[in-house]
Amino acid sequence: MFKPVKTPCVGICSTGIGDSVCRGCKRFTHEVINWNAYSHEQRRAIAQRLEQFLTQVVSNKLQVFDEALLREQVELQRVRYNPDLNAYCWVNDLLRAGASQMGDPAQYGLRRQREWASASLVDIKTAIDQDYYILSCAHYERYIAPGELLI
């Protein structure tokens, strides 16, 4: 038996105001609208794309050097996270929950990438969200929007 795919919704939907890509969960409008009607395989494909994009963006800014410590801290801080996703997705959840209260990233099993060595965790959190949105929009414009124009 397969595990159901959890909705990526974070409760901040911008598709209702006309965005083609949700600024909260980074799904496309049609994916938000049709989520409940999608098969397990369709949901899994969306979740895999989002996980891949988020992993790429987070790993460009932070490195997870101790996954066990990261998991321990995420659970200790009672951060809502999906243990089925990779550790870089947990980093995003951790930063969203409290980047401004975090001290040394090493206490969480993290280290800044060289280009982000002097950036605050709040600035890194903001950059992750912006880059994740830009990557999702670029994917939408390249692969989804052209098909919509043909309809």
pLDDT tens figures, 11-58: 888 888 889 999 999 999 999 999 999 999 999 999 999 999 999 999
Is 90 inside a domain boundary? yes
DSSP state letters, 91-149? HHHHHHHHGGG---GGGGTEEE-GGGTTS-HHHHHHHHHHHHHHHHHHHIIIIIHHHHH
24 located within any domain: no
Looking at the 3D structure of the chain, how many domains does it have? 1
Residue 11 falls inside a structural domain: no
83 assigned to some structural domain: yes
Domain assignment present for 59: yes
Determine the structural domain holding residue 79 and report its residue range: 46-150
CB-count exposure of residue 149 (10 Å: 0-12, 13-18, 19+): exposed
pLDDT band at 146 (very low <50, low <70, confident <90, very high): confident
The answer to whether residue 19 sits within a structural domain is no
pLDDT in tens, 61-106: 999 999 999 999 999 999 999 999 999 999 999 999 999 999 999 9
